[in-house]
Amino acid sequence: MDEMINVFQPSLGERELAAVAEVFAGNWIGRGRRTAEFEASFARHLGVGRDHVTSLNSCTEAAFLAVQLAGFGPGDEVVLPTVSFVGAANAIAACGARPVFCDVDPHTLNPTVADIEAVLTSRTKGVLILHYGGYPGDVARISALCARRRILLIEDAAIGVASRVDGRACGTFGDMGVWSFDHGKIVVTVDGGMLYVRDPELAARAPKLAFLGLEQRSGYDQAMRSRTRWWDFEVSSFSRRSVTNDVLAAVGSVQLSRLPEFIGRRRVIAGRYDRGLSGVDGLRCPPPLPPGHESSYYMYWIQVSPGIRDELARDLYERGIYTTFRYPLLHRVAAYGSAAALPNAEYAAARTLLLPMHQGLTDADADRVVTTVRECLGERLRAPAGWREAEV
Ligand SMILES: *Cc1c(COP(=O)(O)O)cnc(C)c1O
């Protein structure tokens, strides 16, 4: 068998290793100068003020902090697409609010304004959307809707690190945005996340929440001036330790500098898939990006007949091509207690398959994926027992 082609894969190399070695040599590995530099570069990348971002140990933790800063609690409803990352729903449920799942567009898997409007009630305090596959989706109109209705908007931009609409970074349309740098994302710090908060007062609270809710932590000089001891502190909230460190931040700064190169390569792969797969019988490619929209190309998905999707995934695996589906529908997860009927999401979840997408793919890899998908799909469609549904 040919070597397995991964569905997601990081690109970490000599430059990242050298950056780590430099931090080790400096002997300050905790949260320090490198973390501050990484935050400043990320804020520049987003086009926001440096004091509005806080780097954290994961995106899930960023979502939990965002929900905490938003002040959601029992009796509140927070709307999110059923095609969401489980950690986002957990953050909402953990604070006592109710996650209310909405439907999505059947082909982009992003919620439309109408999908969100359909589930708003007088108890809705927040909306939490993601950018499926890195496609911005209807974020501009959704943020206008939320502003009009005075509902807080949180963007899970975990996979939208380079996604933009008319030049504006996804994650900065709403009141807060969160990003992920875990091992499977585009910019990778091994594990890590970032939180953006638009409101300056809330933004100033974020780093304190991220470090045990400690107040009045002062250095030696300041302590001497105020005649206090530098190890004294106050606690303003009972929070966790969610900070990251200079080792991971050094990796992040190198990765961020490589982002344009990563995205450029991903765009080429997506174009190769588009050309090789569009028009193939029984298969649908992702819809084209609307004008002004830039994707991070985190995922490339195809849609096939629901009768053969799982078999196709197995056939591809047998031939060395790893595929998956993200994100399994949350309104189907018993723990959230949802009774919603969301037909477009069901449609998408039964048909969608994510093909390998990462900047480490060669042209030959992409062509092998295209050829193998076409072969396997053709065999499945011709199989007498198989479903036939050319219209997907
Ligand atoms: C990966 C992912 C997360 C979580 O990121 P972590 O840093 O692993 O906590 C959140 N949302 C989406 C959409 C993701 O894909």
Does the global pTM surpass 0.75? yes
**Tokens standing for residue 266:** 């991903």
Query: Which tens digit of pLDDT belongs to each residue from 168-200?
Result: 999 999 999 999 999 999 999 999 999 999 999
DSSP string, 144-210: HHHHHHT-EEEEE-TT-TT-EETTEETTSSSSEEEEE-STTSSS--SS-EEEEESSHHHHHHHHHHT
Query: Where in the chain do CATH 3.40.640.10 domains reside?
Result: 14-257
Cα 176 to ligand 1 centre (Å): 15
**CATH classification (class only), 259-385:** alpha beta
Most distant pair of Cα atoms in the chain: their distance: 85
Instruction: Give the pLDDT mean for 321-344.
Output: 97
* Contact present, 104 and 82 (Cβ < 8 Å): yes
| Closest atom of ligand 1 relative to the 191 alpha carbon | 7
Cα 180 to ligand 1 centre (Å): 5
Instruction: Give the pLDDT mean for 34-45.
Output: 98
DSSP-based three-state secondary structure for 25: helix
Instruction: Give the pLDDT mean for 370-389.
Output: 83
**CA nearest ligand 1 atom 8, residue:** 182
Q: In the structure, which protein residues have their CB atom closer than 6 angstroms to any atom of ligand 1?
A: 58-60, 85, 87, 130, 156, 158-159, 180, 182, 193
Query: Which tens digit of pLDDT belongs to each residue from 53-105?
Result: 999 999 999 999 999 999 999 999 999 999 999 999 999 999 999 999 999 99
Cα 230 to ligand 1 centre (Å): 37
The per-residue pLDDT for 1 is: 56
Amino acid found at 246: D
Q: Report phi then psi at 248, rounded to 5.
A: -70, -35
**CA nearest ligand 1 atom 2, residue:** 158
Query: Where in the chain do CATH 3.90.1150.10 domains reside?
Result: 259-385
Cα 12 to ligand 1 centre (Å): 19
| Closest atom of ligand 1 relative to the 84 alpha carbon | 13
Give 49's contacts (C-beta < 8 A, 6+ positions apart).
Answer: 43
DSSP state of 386: S
**CATH classification (class only), 14-257:** alpha beta
**CA nearest ligand 1 atom 14, residue:** 158
Cα 182 to ligand 1 centre (Å): 7
* Contact present, 138 and 113 (Cβ < 8 Å): yes
Amino acid found at 312: L
Q: Which of 185, 187, 240, 354 to mutate to test the pocket of ligand 1 (most atoms within 8 A of CB)?
A: 185
| Closest atom of ligand 1 relative to the 63 alpha carbon | 10
